[in-house]
Amino acid sequence: MFYDKAKIYVKAGIGGNGVVAFRREKYVPEGGPNGGDGGDGGSVVLVGDKGLRTLVDFKYKPHVKAKKGEHGQGKGRHGKKAEDNILMVPLGTIVRDFDTNELIADVTEDGQRVVVAKGGRGGRGNARFVSAKNRVPMVAERGEPGEEVTLFLELKLLADVGLIGMPNAGKSTLISVISAAKPKIADYPFTTLKPNLGVVSIEVGNSFVVADIPGLIEGAHQGLGLGHEFLRHIERTRIFVHVLDMSPAEDKNIVEIFNTINKELVLYNPKLANKKQIIAANKMDVPGAEDNLEILKKELGEQYEIFSISAVAGMGLKPLLGRISQLIDEIEPEPLHTEDEIKVFTEPALERFIIDREDGIFVVRGKEIERHFAMTDFNNEEGVKRFQRILKVMGVESALIEEGINYGDFVRIGDLEFEFVE
């Protein structure tokens, strides 16, 4: 089964906890603090892999988590950083935030790395809190939680050439003849149920990738037929080869068929109208095909290059492939997205805090205050006092007073509720 879309939940690892520890050494009555820091949690990283062709792995693995960092130890020993969780994705994978639809990455190069969830920072041990006023700190930080996000992955195949056309136009036969691809071929509509990729070698060092897109029909952009499922895979191609079945049939208008397919492409994405397109007039070995060819040349010959071929008989393929190779050298690939559209991973500017009221309780929210909350050990008295000092320095206390809080009212930060006292 061909999977070109996937929804996955990723969660980076939490950082390891710092530790409270002191030197225990013979003849040293008062050893100093030497609690080590916790290790950073592992991140979740996507890496491009040219050997993959589908997102099927994520169907069976929709939840991905990285490991947490090791805790710090005494004698100044820091915890080990957790290894990143590496997820291999096929080239052409577009990564978006599922909830906001924000574009995170477009993976187009082998080995390209994208951090989609950063691991939490390890907590500091008590050796980090020594100061002139506090020579014997009894406080250490807990590890910072890792980032978590739900992602939508969408594969848009990387190919130089896209074969387009109606069902049974002969696209699958053509790609099977000019490359090593072996698509399923039969004499009924919608034989091709997934895109096929083939590498065409003209000569040593000169090759290109062709994508056979399942047959389009009128209304494909609205979900009719199979083409709507795979139209995304032609967006990256440099040129289109429009394969037309030239064999005669009653009520067959070859020009109308050509225009129907092009209309569907433009309705799906107007940018596709600007791509270079040549016509492969296929099945020219069938008696009566010459009449359709004359009509095609008369109506479209001045606007499009037309190549007479028979994929089954291997007729006329050399000129077609030669022209395709020439056009690929002339046309530079266009990126699907500009650099401005892609979110560049940077350390986020933390929102300090905001104050809301819910059912009479003052609720303090904000990335910075929530990070301090998560990294505080509330079982440690000195840790609690440090958190109270943080609230005061950040201005939370004065902001609560401005919001009209009275002594005895309750405040909630995270999952902790406490009484506001003088």
In the chain, domain spans = 5-155, 161-330, 354-419
Q: Which H or E run includes 300?
A: helix 289-300
Determine the Cα–Cα distance for residues 392 and 400; give it in Å rounded to an integer: 10
Superfamily of chain region 161-330: P-loop containing nucleotide triphosphate hydrolases (3.40.50.300)
Tens digit of pLDDT for each residue in 70-125?
Answer: 999 998 999 999 999 999 998 889 999 999 999 999 898 999 999 999 999 999 99
For 253-260, the CB contacts below 8 A with 24+ separation are: 254/292, 254/295, 254/296, 255/295, 255/296, 255/299, 255/300, 257/166, 258/296, 258/300, 260/166, 260/218
Structure tokens of 20?
Answer: 């409270």
Q: Which CATH number fits domain 5-155: 3.40.50.720, 2.70.210.12, 2.60.120.560, 2.10.109.10?
A: 2.70.210.12
What is the pLDDT at residue 224? 47
Structure tokens of 224?
Answer: 């009719």
Beta strands in 51-131, from DSSP E residues, in sequence order: 63-65, 85-90, 93-97, 103-107, 113-117
Adjacent-strand bridge partners of 242:
164, 279
354: burial class by Cβ within 10 Å (0-12, 13-18, 19+)? exposed
What residue ranges of the chain have pLDDT lower than 50? 186, 188, 190-192, 220-221, 224-226, 345-348
Q: What is the mean pLDDT of the chain?
A: 86
Task: Name residue, tokens 């309705």.
Answer: 267
Tens digit of pLDDT for each residue in 279-305?
Answer: 999 999 999 999 999 999 999 999 999
Residues 167 and 408 sit within 8 Å (Cβ to Cβ): no
pTM over 0.85: no
Superfamily of chain region 354-419: GTP-binding protein OBG, C-terminal domain (3.30.300.350)
Half-sphere exposure of residue 258, counting CA atoms within 13 Å on the CB side? 27
What dihedral do alpha carbons 282, 286, 292, 296 form, nearest 10°? 20
Determine the Cα–Cα distance for residues 244 and 282; give it in Å rounded to an integer: 6
Residues 123 and 141 sit within 8 Å (Cβ to Cβ): yes
What is the pLDDT at residue 250? 75
What is the pLDDT at residue 320? 95
In what order do the strands lie in the sheet containing 103-107? 63-65, 5-11, 148-155, 93-97, 103-107
CATH fold match for the domains 5-155 and 161-330: no
Residues contacting 324, CB < 8 A, separation 6+: 161, 200, 208, 239, 241, 278
